[in-house]
Structure formats: structure tokens, C-alpha cells
Amino acid sequence: MAQQTAYELFYWPGLPGRGEFVRLALEAAGAPYTDHARHPNGLAAMQALLDAANQSCPPFAPPFLRDGPLLIGQTAAILLHLGRRHGLAPAAEADRLWCHQIQLTIADLVTEAHDTHHPVSASLYYEEQKPEAARRAQDFRDNRMPKFLGWFERILAANPAGSSHLVDQAPSYADLSLFQAVEGLRYAFPHASARALRKAPHVAALAASVAGWPRIAAYLASPRRQPFNQNGIFRHYPELDA
């Protein structure tokens, strides 16, 4: 579907974070968008919308997307919207719901990956919660990451339309999000993710394939793509990997 005006994305500047899941969908769709996180006053613009007293649908937290009169928060809700408008989700209702279910499971994985370094509070520094982080990260490496990746492996292997996409035989926002989650896990937990991905070859193959989709390859090579860093959701602390 043609998009008349450019989307506007609001997110924290300086980190890929959850905003990156939205960027990947916008880039894969070839949709024009303004990324306020890359503008000098982007943080102020984002904060103004979060605080606007006369806003009837204020988002709870970034990222959020403006699409004309709509202001949409929650990454999975944004992708539900973009997926439908840009052919990044299946047309059939059952498949659309399955795609969303996968996305919500990726969102759970992302939250748990974040909480490895912030198990007590997002408003404290990592250095203020290191003992707790060590224990939570161990559980994540030993139990949770393998469980999540094992489930993605299983549904890719069981896809009746083949294992090159999560849903049916077409690219979807779930493919894009799984790619980004795998990239994040590789950055944060190089050792533990390598072990887990050896048992999830379809997941590793899908991630490699998404990186080669023409629009995504162009995006990844552009200055618009931000590297992972120690301010984001996925952070590399060697002591949390093993």
C-alpha cells in the first residue's frame, strides 16, 4: 500500500534498542521515515510527546511511531500495523496471528536479555547490580536463551512452507526481528550464543539470509544502521558470558 506522508519514529538517540526492530521493518518496506533519534532535537521531540498533557493516546515508553493521525507505541503493535500496510505480514488471519505470536515471543526474549544486566532496576547502573546480574545471566545462558532459540528452530523446521521464513514462504517482520535478536545475542553473549546457535542451524541460516535481503543489506551498509553498544538492550559484559 502506498504511504503518502513519511512515518516519524521516536526513540532514544545513540542506541539501536527496541527502535531497531521498527527501523528494520521500515527499511524492508522501503517506506520513507524520519528518524528523530538521528536529529539534534530528537530527544526533546520524543519527550514532548511522552509528556503532552492533551494527548489522548500517549505512549507508555519509546519506541513509538507517528503515522498521520496515529501515534502507536509498543514495538509489537507498531509492527502489527506496519506489517499489514507493507506486506510484511501474511494476509490470512491465522497466519497473521501466528506471526504476531512469534513477535511477542521475540519481545519476551529481548526483555529477558535486557534484564541479564539490569535484573534489579533499569534506573540503576549495571555496576550497582552486578551480583544479581551474574546470577540472572547464568540462568539466561543455561536455560532461557537455549529454550527461546530452540523454539524458533523448531517452528522453522516445522514450517510446512519451508524453513527459509518463520511464517509461510514470505518475508515478515518476525523474520526481521529474529535477525535483530540473534545479532544482539551474538554481540552480548558471543560464547553462549555460539553454543546455542550450533543447535539452531535454521535460526542461524535465517539470520544470514535476512542480512542479504537487498534493502536490508543496503541498510546495514549505510550510516543509518547503529552498532550495538553498552547503552543498549544488548550489552557485552564478558563476565556475563561464559
Q: Is the peptide bond before 190 cis (omega within 30 degrees of 0)?
A: no
Q: Does 241 bind its own copies (CB under 8 A)?
A: no
Chain CA centroid to CA 199, Å: 22
Is 144 or 186 the residue whose CB approaches its own copies more closely? Answer: 144
Least distance CB 70 / its own copies (angstroms) = 6
If the CB atoms of residues 158 and 221 are measured against its own copies, the closer one turns out to be 158
Q: Which is nearer to its own copies, 160 or 212 (CB)?
A: 160
Q: Which of 104, 217, 218, 242 binds its own copies (CB under 8 A)?
A: 104
Contact status: 72 vs its own copies (CB under 8 A):
yes
Identify which range of 15-23, 36-44, 122-130, 197-205 contacts its own copies by CB under 8 A. 122-130
Among 18, 66, 100, 117, binds its own copies (CB under 8 A): 100
Distance between CA atoms of residues 210 and 51, nearest Å = 37
Residue of 2, 94, 227, 238 interacting with its own copies (CB under 8 A): 94
* Per-residue CA distances from 106 to 45, 62, 174, 176, 215 (Å): 28, 17, 8, 11, 22
Burial 160-192 (b: 16+ CB within 10 A, else e): eeebebbbbebbbbbbbbbbbbbbbbbbbbeeb
33 forms bridges with which residues in the sheet?
A: 7
Distance CA(80)–CA(74), nearest Å, equals: 10
- What residues numbered 159-198 form the site for its own copies, per CB under 8 A? 159-160
Question: Nine-digit cell at 182?
Answer: 540473534
What part of residues 51-70 is at the interface with its own copies (CB under 8 A)?
54-60, 69-70
Q: Which of 127, 158, 214, 227 binds its own copies (CB under 8 A)?
A: 158
Q: How far is CA 87 from CA 33, 111, 158, 160, 165, in A?
A: 17, 27, 23, 20, 14
Residues in contact with its own copies by CB under 8 A are: 54-60, 69-70, 72-74, 76-77, 80-81, 94, 97-98, 100-101, 104-105, 108, 111, 115, 119-121, 123-124, 129, 132, 135-136, 139, 143, 148, 151, 154-155, 158-160
